[in-house]
Every structure is written in C-alpha cells, then in structure tokens.
Amino acid sequence: MNLEELLAFAGRHQLLSIALVGLTIAIIVNEVMQLFRGYKTLRPAGLTALINRDNALVIDLRPIADFEKGHIPGSKNVQMSQFDPENKQLAPAKALPVVLVCKTGQSAGTAAKRLKKAGFEQVHVLDGGIGGWQQADLPLARGKSRNKG
C-alpha cells in the first residue's frame, strides 16, 4: 500500500481515521506521562524478582480486614489514611526498592508520588494491585502481618 492509497482510504473512512489518530495521540500522551511520574509499575513476576533479588519492601495500603483475608507474603500493612513517607517502616528504606500495593493500583499511585517527593529512590506500584497478583495465580498469605505500620 502506497501513500496515495492510504490517503484515499482515510478520505473514504474519515471516522476510522479520526479514531486512529485519537488513539495514537492518547497512547503517546500516556507513555510520556509515565516517564515523568517518577515511579514504575511492576507486573507480578517483576515483583517476585525484585523481592528475591533486591529484598524489596512491599507495602500493602488496603484496609486491615482486606489485608488479613489475603496479602503478598512478607508485605507490611500501612493504612492509606496513616500513610506517611516518614513512617518508621518506610524511612529506613529510602535507598531500597519499595513496592506499593492496593486493591487496583490507583491508591498506590498516589502514595508512590508522595514517596518520590520525600526522596525515595526506587518506587514501584504493582500493576493491577492485589487483583493482578491473584490473576497471576501467585500465593497469598492470610492473617496479620508481624510488623504492622
């Protein structure tokens, strides 16, 4: 297909062409925003590698009742309402990888921005939250965390 045929197709299918341009712009804007937000998203497999390789600190921001029903093994529960980058569990981890987990990934993104602003170097958010972890068929621990925040 040459440029002339492409332009003829675009002329015949204006709605499709506009939709394609709109989607392309949206994808580019989304990618650029991800570059400047200061934290990275991780898939569940990436999180397990980060835990095993770099001893990442995993912070679960969900309510305690949800945390006790099932959480990533080794994660610490810090309520979003009590989330503070100067928290005694978080402050010593400024140079370590910190991974934030919530139900879907939205609250974790907000918390990640606060950590980056407070000087944390390696901040990550679990893509899809705890639901993404479960969809990957990875294990959940039940009950209370030994070190609650």
Judge whether residue 91 has pLDDT over 90.
Answer: no
The confidence band for 28, taking pLDDT boundaries of 50, 70 and 90, is confident
| Lowest mean pLDDT, pick from 5-9, 38-42, 125-129 | 38-42
User: Please, are residues 80 and 107 in contact by the beta-carbon 8 Å criterion?
Assistant: yes
Question: What's phi and psi for 102, nearest 5 deg?
Answer: -140, -160
Question: CA–CA distance from 122 to each of 27, 74, 93, 94, 131 (Å)?
Answer: 25, 18, 9, 8, 23
Judge whether residue 106 has pLDDT over 60.
Answer: yes
Which pLDDT score, from 0 to 100, does residue 79 have?
Answer: 85
What residue spans of the chain are helical by DSSP H?
Answer: 3-12, 14-36, 44-54, 64-69, 106-117, 129-135
Q: What is the average per-residue pLDDT within 102-113?
A: 87
Query: Which tokens hold the place of 30?
Result: 């989304």
Q: Return the ∠ at Cα 139 (arms to 137 and 144), rounded to 5°.
A: 145
User: Please, are residues 39 and 116 in contact by the beta-carbon 8 Å criterion?
Assistant: yes
Q: What is the average per-residue pLDDT within 75-95?
A: 82
For the chain, domain boundaries = 3-35, 39-135
Fold topology of 39-135: Oxidized Rhodanese; domain 1 (3.40.250)
The confidence band for 149, taking pLDDT boundaries of 50, 70 and 90, is very low
Which of 1 and 44 is assigned the larger pLDDT?
44
Tokens 């993104």 — which residue? Answer: 109
